[in-house]
Structure 1
């Protein structure tokens, strides 16, 4: 795995987004051309094209040009509609897990190492901003994709490796969004859904859609975000432990609050509380839920309250959490202080708002924090 930044490893795409098989498939489908018809127009078989489009074989320059020539379009289309893709994921049967027939064989020891690496990067995200971290995550994600694509493995090892790709995609989308690179974030999230679905991990696929919905709620249409968040929760629920349903339910609540639907937001938040209360010792919980606790649930309820104009509730919930929040988690602490400042500002307590804002550090490496501080500062002018 790539362990330094900037990454000098050959083939590591940090600064440009290579054409993915999913891009080619989206271009073909957008042109209304079936797989066999496209095969007829080119010299490749339908089976080979299907493998390329599903990420099982690499996309080379000849293949990308063939798509452009046969379809009369750019081989890299705009990112797909995430709402449509979410619904397709919910309704589709999971694809079979296929065994890689060629390439270097890898076993469980490499899968162990890659799984440990994901956990390390996830914890690193607690203390490092997206601007710094996203090249490192992208480097690891490229390496994981290459192992899945080019090596051979047993079906169980392949499932584990695909799950690693899905988890790195979730982290990659998150840090891209934190760095303000929203289009890249969306593409990484959706690629991760493909990997998680092939791995048979519906809770992880739901987490990817749900995290994407959170980003869309913040920078796009909150109604689209709400549809994605509800789809993710419903699609993942049958296989998910209570903590996953609670986490995905938070994104439903947030999208509703951003859409100014107070009743839907409160219902979703109450459901989050109920799900979290259903946790039991011995539940098998994915590592990506490690950070969710009662303080974080209170923070989400407070943020929804700010969005819905209930500044008093937001202040009551946020103040104690902010005071005891771990100092090393600078970005999250900064974000929560910005929400506390907004709650004060909307309640007309401008001196308290300025005092809260003054405690936000200027060097978090997060575009989200900078945007939040600018938004709150405008309320004080």
Structure 2
């Protein structure tokens, strides 16, 4: 509601129309228009239509982008999955270029382990734009097209993740949703689920956790029967986290149990996509610990977090510092403030030189729990 009101005001300001003049054009009172634009009164369809007529613009312009995550998730679930061959007049590319791009995605993904989002975002964004240009402008075989679309979807997931780490949440959402389309066209439902569940994770942290739960469940449902064990464990983790943020303790525990079951089914005979290389037992323990804190059981989280932190090597400074903030929060919520203060100080020291907005916000959030 606030966003739509802001859109109404922005459109009026852009047209150079005062609130008094707008009242005359729409025949609504000036006080009412002020309440609509500040989100203090419910905006109805007739209000939007009145603004569109008065300013000679489209209704769609006032409503803003139509890429609502839950709508996109629904469309993904019900849509067919044909491979669309994107060809245009341009240079024909082959499997060689597709292979090079696939290798580059892996390099960038592993670079995210050691480089903060604010530093890495320009690099991955540039790579995504370049890959999209190849898909849109070049010509290629159906098989190469499938590989190129997969590259675009994987780069969209990485770019969205890095953008979120840098604090650019709207950009992250836009990129995630564009990646869903590419993954669907590539015939890769597991990757589409990864993109939607990544967006769910962001929404659980900075938006409405209830929406995040729906989105995470949509990701699991849409990829059901077409995921490997570790991929399924990852998608289920996102349900667990969103449920914890939504204060659904039973839903959180069910999801965590399902994560353990899925991960236990992995085997050397099942090839996992490279983009789940990082999900191992210690990462699952970290998520379980975080969910325990959100669910009001901080003492049970401490051994899970401490064990995972000890297993990390120093070059993974951002992850170590992030997990130290969760450990500090577990102490703070258990009333162990000296231990919490020592741990968050250690996280701050670990985070020096890591340009991650997500990490900065976590440290500030934990420090706000400490007395004095």
TM-score normalised according to structure 1 size:
0.80
Find out whether 1:343 has 2:334 as its counterpart.
no
Aligned mates of 2:64, 2:132 — CA distance in 1: 21
Partner of 1:242: 229
User: Which of 121, 131, 139 is equivalent to 1:152?
Assistant: 139
Partner of 2:353: 363
What are the within-5 Å matches in structure 2 for residues 199-238 of structure 1?
Answer: 199-238=186-225
Partner of 2:262: 275
What are the within-5 Å matches in structure 2 for residues 245-324 of structure 1?
Answer: 245-324=232-311
User: Which of 129, 153, 177 is equivalent to 1:190?
Assistant: 177
Cα pair distance change 1:340/1:106, threshold 3 Å: same
Structure 1 runs (4+) deviating above 6 angstroms are none
Query: Retained in 2: the 8 A contact 1:165–1:192?
Result: yes
User: Which of 300, 321, 333 is equivalent to 2:320?
Assistant: 333
CA offset digits 1:16-44 (Å, max 9, x no partner): xxxxxxxxxxxxxxxxxxxxxxxxxxxxx
Query: Retained in 1: the 8 A contact 2:282–2:307?
Result: no
Q: Offset of 1:339 from its aligned partner? A: 0.1
Q: Offset of 1:238 from its aligned partner? A: 1.5
Describe the SS at the equivalent of 1:237.
coil
Q: Offset of 1:75 from its aligned partner? A: 10
Q: Calculate the aligned-residue CA RMSD, in Å.
A: 1.7
Gaps of 5+ in 2: 1-55
Query: Retained in 1: the 8 A contact 2:204–2:241?
Result: yes
Of structures 1 and 2, the larger Rg is shown by 2
Aligned mates of 2:362, 2:74 — CA distance in 1: 31
Aligned mates of 1:302, 1:244 — CA distance in 2: 20
Cα pair distance change 1:259/1:99, threshold 3 Å: closer
Aligned mates of 1:193, 1:95 — CA distance in 2: 14
Q: Offset of 1:101 from its aligned partner? A: 4.5
Query: Retained in 2: the 8 A contact 1:243–1:289?
Result: yes
Q: Offset of 1:104 from its aligned partner? A: 0.6
Query: Retained in 1: the 8 A contact 2:117–2:163?
Result: yes
CA offset digits 1:161-216 (Å, max 9, x no partner): 00000000000000000000000000000000000000000000000000000000
CA offset digits 1:268-317 (Å, max 9, x no partner): 00000000000011212111000000000000000000111101111121
Aligned mates of 1:320, 1:196 — CA distance in 2: 36
Describe the SS at the equivalent of 2:272.
coil
What are the within-5 Å matches in structure 2 for residues 153-168 of structure 1?
Answer: 153-168=140-155
CA offset digits 1:97-139 (Å, max 9, x no partner): 2251521100000000000000000000000000000000000
Aligned mates of 1:352, 1:178 — CA distance in 2: 27
Gaps of 5+ in 1: 1-68
TM-score normalised according to structure 2 size:
0.82
What are the within-5 Å matches in structure 2 for residues 116-131 of structure 1?
Answer: 116-131=103-118
Aligned mates of 2:58, 2:332 — CA distance in 1: 54
- The structure in which a higher percent of residues are helix is 2
Query: Retained in 1: the 8 A contact 2:83–2:146?
Result: no
Query: Retained in 1: the 8 A contact 2:228–2:272?
Result: yes
Find out whether 1:376 has 2:369 as its counterpart.
no
